[in-house]
């Protein structure tokens, strides 16, 4: 992959295009006059499709022959650890990490520390002990 193709792909991804993972019928390549369909790399921002597999940079005039792919919702996973893994691996947690573990807002973590429900570290920046967060996680009202 050359640098021009990398720049083109990066710009297209930034503009909302994504890799096309649908099934493409063989007659699409015949209509486009593609000499090597195995090299095809399709990106789409439905219904706009572009092939970046060769220097031709084909853009079909219609979506005929392309499988319609349903859009997927991309979840933004903020932390790689689960709440229980986080409190077991770390000794001190920031307000946003403690909020993630307790499923509350960071402001609530500050309030819980003021109320004495969470043990705060004396020095700045603001952090609470993982042990006190774990204790709050285990409190369940039935």
Range with lowest mean pLDDT among 26-35, 64-73, 122-131: 64-73
Q: pLDDT at position 12, please?
A: 79
Q: pLDDT at position 1, please?
A: 58
Q: pLDDT at position 142, please?
A: 47
Q: Round to whole Å and give the CA distance between 139 and 121.
A: 22
Burial of 121 (0-12, 13-18, 19+ CB in 10 A): middle
Residue 64 clears pLDDT 60, i.e. is over it: yes
Tens digits of residue pLDDT in 107-132:
999 999 999 999 999 999 999 999 99
Residue 76 clears pLDDT 90, i.e. is over it: no
Full-model pTM: 0.48
Phi, psi of 21 (to 5 degrees): -110, 15
Q: Round to whole Å and give the CA distance between 36 and 32.
A: 11
Q: pLDDT at position 118, please?
A: 96
How does the average pLDDT of the chain come out, rounded? 85
Q: pLDDT at position 73, please?
A: 67
Tens digits of residue pLDDT in 83-111:
999 999 999 999 999 999 999 999 999 99
Q: Which residue has the tokens 């319609």?
A: 68
State the average pLDDT over residues 2-24.
80
Q: pLDDT at position 124, please?
A: 92
């Amino acid at each position: 992959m050359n640098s021009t193709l990398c720049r083109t792909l990066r710009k297209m991804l930034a503009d909302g295009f994504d890799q096309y993972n649908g099934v493409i019928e063989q007659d699409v390549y015949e209509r486009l006059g593609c000499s090597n369909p195995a090299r095809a790399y399709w990106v789409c921002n439905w219904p706009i499709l572009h092939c970046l597999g060769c220097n031709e940079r084909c853009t079909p005039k219609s979506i005929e022959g392309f499988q319609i792919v349903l859009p997927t919702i991309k979840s933004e996973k903020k932390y790689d650890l689960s709440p229980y893994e986080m409190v077991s691996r770390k000794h001190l947690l920031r307000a946003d990490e403690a909020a993630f573990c307790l499923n509350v807002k960071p402001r609530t973590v500050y309030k819980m520390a003021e109320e004495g429900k969470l043990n705060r570290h004396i020095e700045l920046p603001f952090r609470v002990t993982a042990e006190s967060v774990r204790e709050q996680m285990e409190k369940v009202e039935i």
